[in-house]
Amino acid sequence: MLLHIDSSADTTADSVTRQLTGAFVRTRGRADHRHRDLSAEPVPPITAAYTSLGRRVEREGFVPPAKVPALIESAAEQREWELTHPYLTELLDADTLLLGVPMYNLSVPATLKAWIDRVTFPGALTDPDTGESLLRHTRVVVVMARGGGYGPGTPRERLDFQTPYLRAYFGNLGVPPENLHLVAAELTRVDVMPRPAGMEDLAAASLARARATLTALAAG
């Protein structure tokens, strides 16, 4: 199953990440597709009840999701688990996770961070019998768009907190490096930014490379 998540606040055709994730889905061409639009349906931020339930689960030795309800002690915790469990189920059912992630203020959108915080429930993504990651066979394709240039060797490379964060997050969850694909389209806002001559060509080339890479990943 493909779990396709868009996090761009721009729901129009101007959204580069939505254009690219849509192209990936069309190229893949399979029916087992679940789409979540985090702008249209935001994930509720976690609360104190989520953290209290999570700590209790940690004290029990990271029990699997099926056993979490037995540890719930309040209506607030019950609500948090009912909010969390569907997102976890979708993620664990997916063989491919496709994320559309624009760069906002040098990092990821708050809508995506809310999803990340909720699905990273203590122990839920780890096999309780072996300690192995339940995402070790999941392919993760992250489609990034940045208005400026943050690629290797550019003056703004050190300001890219999007790529290292996502690489560290999924790596920490046990997604192998060979299963994690970070694809960026750069200079996507050259139409509104002051720019030297030739920047439009660089932007078009970056977008074309991203499209080609995603086409190959979707077909593979």
Domain count, the chain: 1
DSSP state of 198: T
Q: Containing domain of residue 18, as a range?
A: 2-42+85-219
Question: Residue 106 domain-assigned?
Answer: yes
Identify the bridge partners of residue 142 per DSSP, sorted by sequence position: 99, 182
- Indicate the pTM of the whole model: 0.94
**Tally of helices (H runs) and strands (E runs) in the chain:** 6, 5
Q: At what angle do helices 48-59 and 75-93 cross, to 10 degrees?
A: 70
**SS3 per residue for the chain:** CEEEEECCCCCCCCCHHHHHHHHHHHHHCCCCEEEEECCCCCCCCCCHHHHHHHHHHHHCCCCCHHHHHHHCCCHHHHHHHHHHHHHHHHHHHCCEEEEEEECECCECCHHHHHHHHHHCCCCCCECCCCCCECCCCCEEEEEEECCCCCCCCCCCHHHCCHHHHHHHHHHHCCCCHHHEEEEEECCCCCCCCCCCCCHHHHHHHHHHHHHHHHHHHHHC
What pLDDT, on a 0 to 100 scale, did the predictor assign at position 40? 96
Q: Is residue 64 part of a domain?
A: no
Predicted pLDDT at 30: 81
* Buried residues in 99-130 as b, exposed as e (16+ CB within 10 A): bbbbbbeebbbbbbbbbbebbbbbbbbbeeee
176 in a structural domain: yes
- Per-residue confidence (pLDDT) for residue 124, from 0 to 100: 96
**DSSP class of residue 104?**
B
DSSP 129-145: TT--BTTTT-EEEEEEE
Query: In this predicted structure, what is the pLDDT of residue 153?
Result: 82
Residue 91, domain member (yes or no): yes
Q: What CATH number should be reported for the domain holding residue 132?
A: 3.40.50.360
State the DSSP H helix or E strand holding residue 200, giving kind and residue range, or none if neither.
helix 199-219
The verdict on residue 161 lying in a domain is: yes
Residue-level pLDDT, tens digit, the chain, 220 residues: 999 999 999 988 889 999 999 999 999 988 899 999 999 999 999 999 999 999 999 999 888 999 999 999 999 999 999 999 999 999 999 999 999 999 999 999 999 999 999 999 999 999 988 999 999 999 999 999 998 888 888 888 899 999 999 999 999 999 999 999 999 999 888 777 666 556 788 889 999 999 999 999 999 8
CA angle 28, 26, 177 (to 5 degrees): 45
DSSP one-letter code for 147? S
CA–CA dist 9, 21 (Å, integer)? 14
Is residue 54 situated within a structural domain? no
On whether residue 19 sits in a domain, the answer given is: yes
